[in-house]
Amino acid sequence: ALVEGLFSAQDSVESVLSMYIGISPYQKMELLEGLCQRLGFEGLAVFGDCFDEVTYLDPVKFPNAIKVFAKEVCRNDFLAFGRLHFFFPDSRIALDLNTDKVLKEARFDRHFVRDLTWSRQQLATLAERRFKTAQDMARKVRGGDDVKYLSFAEVFEKVKKEDFSAALSRIQTPRELMIMMTEMFSRMEANSDQGFIVEAPDLQVAVQKAQEQAL
């Protein structure tokens, strides 16, 4: 009954597809933006992230899937819509987006593209903030303010500076950093009753796992 109220018996599948669903990616975005504007919004912006966390784009199970997806998304007829912001988990070179064929279809000369990089200082600052937030949350759960705050650096006070610097230099992205921290603190919590102290080998294992899982 709902469909009958929207379309007449004379409407073909092709006309419905063209007028209300769209055929090309650009047309689909135009129709979606029109719908948003009719609902009172100024326009439409699309943000894409965490692509490698989608089951069928998992780089471990399907090594080339993310590359195929990136090539399909990075096409001029789609990017020309504007207000599209995609954050891929690797560089353009690693995703095979610098080939002549892709560059011709994507027209990166028209669309802003940047490979994001993080300095060691930026990652260290992020780690410090995340660690403090985790401690704040733990305090709220347990109650009380008698627990002393630890800085991120204090966790590794038993690790030599050169070992700590070498390990952290292998961490390149916030995702790798979060995986490393999760692994490290899981080991600390699992052995808290034994007075577990982080040493260089523990840090190296955490960094190795971060690099493996972040692929």
In this predicted model, what pLDDT tens digit does every residue of 81-119 receive, in sequence order? 878 888 887 778 888 888 888 888 888 888 887 877 888
* Residue 8 predicted with pLDDT over 70: no
Tokens of 66: 């993310």
The band of 194, judged by pLDDT with boundaries at 50, 70 and 90, is low
The band of 6, judged by pLDDT with boundaries at 50, 70 and 90, is low
Q: What is the pLDDT of residues 29-55, one digit of tens each?
A: 888 888 888 889 988 898 988 888 888
Q: What per-residue confidence (pLDDT) applies to 186?
A: 81
> Could you identify the residue written with the tokens 């011709």?
104
* Residue 20 predicted with pLDDT over 70: no
Q: What per-residue confidence (pLDDT) applies to 32?
A: 87
- In this prediction, residues 123-144 reach a mean pLDDT of 79
The torsion of the CA quartet 100, 102, 105, 110, rounded to 10 degrees, works out to -90
Q: How far apart are CA 27 and CA 161, in angstroms?
A: 56
Which letter does DSSP use for residue 20 in this model? I
Closest CA to 73 of 205, 54, 61: 54
